[in-house]
Amino acid sequence: MKLISTTGQEWQRLCSRQLARKRRVEEAVRKIVDDVHQNGDAALLRHTRRFDQARLSVKQLRVTEAEISGAFQHLDPKFALHLKSAIQNVSLFYSRPRLKPVRIMDGDGVVLAEKFDPIERVGVYIPGGTASLVSTVYMTVIPAKRAGVARVILATPPRKDGSVDPHILAVASLLDVDEVYKMGGAQAIAALAFGTKTIPKVDKVIGPGNAFVAEAKRQVFGFVDVDTIAGPSEIAVIANHYSNPAYVLADLLGETEHAGGLGFLITTSKALARLARKQVPGGYCVLVKNLDEAVDVANQLAPEHLEIMVRSPQKLAKRITRAGAIFLGPYSPVTIGDYVAGPSHVLPTGGAARAFSGLGIDDFIRRTHLITYSKRALERMREPVERLTAIEGLPRHFDAVKVRLT
């Protein structure tokens, strides 16, 4: 772990880490996305052979009911039991509606309102490869289902033999995912965004992935909505001499299990800093004068996960305005949030927590404004509209009002 100052260029680079893009990845992904957009299933199958070494036919892209039933036969019978508490916690957290309709009326017959409707079709991407993220299935599907999404479509990379991790299929089945397709990487994101003869076009794509998946989501944004553009997983820990060093080191080391995982230690303790520098490979340590400065540093970083392991962590948490999720106290490791706590572990990375939030029900809801005017109310607004349309040089906009009042 490297000791770093908050006054140097390297610190500025770390605080703007989300902005880093590799041209090689960008160009490679653009070719894949354009190919799938133009050539559909044929391109999707070609890239599946190239990147996943799986030779599939068009009919084999969609996971069958028989494959889903067979998946349960390959699992430990206790798997569903172990999964139960996690699913219950996530379901409970997302059980209450967050959005309340707005309705404003005045005496002249003006009614202003908002209505909320769930997105119709959502594509969920679940990485495979070196790690099949089983937990991401319920961390994404449950909020979507709770929001009322009519059709949840899951995409996950096939193995070389054309099969899919049975744990992923089992969880998808338990959560009533509507369709599962064997496809991964940038080609899967493109197929979901544009649709093919076999793959339905969705309205929003969510879920984590590698640099190619993240870049593909960036490139299809606008054709579909996406959640945040995810980068490597990261953790920041605020700690001092009251913190248990073993807990701090274990949590920082946990991030190294993720490819490119990044750890930050923000501490007032020189002894803890020395220990971390010796035992944690990679990552950065920031020595601060006091906890007030620690809060400022954390807000500059805007980390995906922030652990506060000091006395009275709630006091500091109130002043943290930029973090994907905050874990308070010595017995709240990031691991608990990754798997069983309840809030989705799909969180903004790379400093995106400055403006983005963790995945929630609101991410699957569209809001529509409803505007009703009476003739009397329209007459009252005649002069302001006439003046404003004249300033903007759009007289026919005013004609649409004038014709109703003549």
Instruction: Name the residues annotated as catalytic.
Output: 304-305
- Report the distance separating Cα 266 and Cα 297, nearest Å: 8
Query: Nearest 5°: phi and psi at 319?
Result: -100, 0
- Report the distance separating Cα 330 and Cα 294, nearest Å: 17
Q: What are the b/e assignments for 304-329, b being 16+ CB within 10 Å?
A: bbbbbbbeebeebbeebebbbbbbbe
Residues linked to residue 266 through DSSP beta bridges, in sequence order: 238, 286
**H helix runs in 109-237, sequence order:** 134-147, 166-174, 185-194, 211-220
How wide is the angle at C-alpha 213 spanned by C-alphas 72 and 28, nearest 5°?
135
Classify residue 29 by burial, with Cβ atoms within 10 Å: 0-12, 13-18, 19+: buried
Determine the length of the chain. 406
Task: Check: CB of residue 32 under 8 Å from CB of residue 187.
Answer: yes
**C-alpha to C-alpha distances, 12 to 7, 15, 17, 238, 297, nearest whole angstrom:** 8, 5, 9, 19, 12
Classify residue 268 by burial, with Cβ atoms within 10 Å: 0-12, 13-18, 19+: buried
Q: Give DSSP secondary structure letters for 287-328.
A: E-SSHHHHHHHHHHH--SEEEEESSSHHHHHTT--S-SEEEE
Task: Check: CB of residue 381 under 8 Å from CB of residue 404.
Answer: no
- Report the distance separating Cα 153 and Cα 182, nearest Å: 11
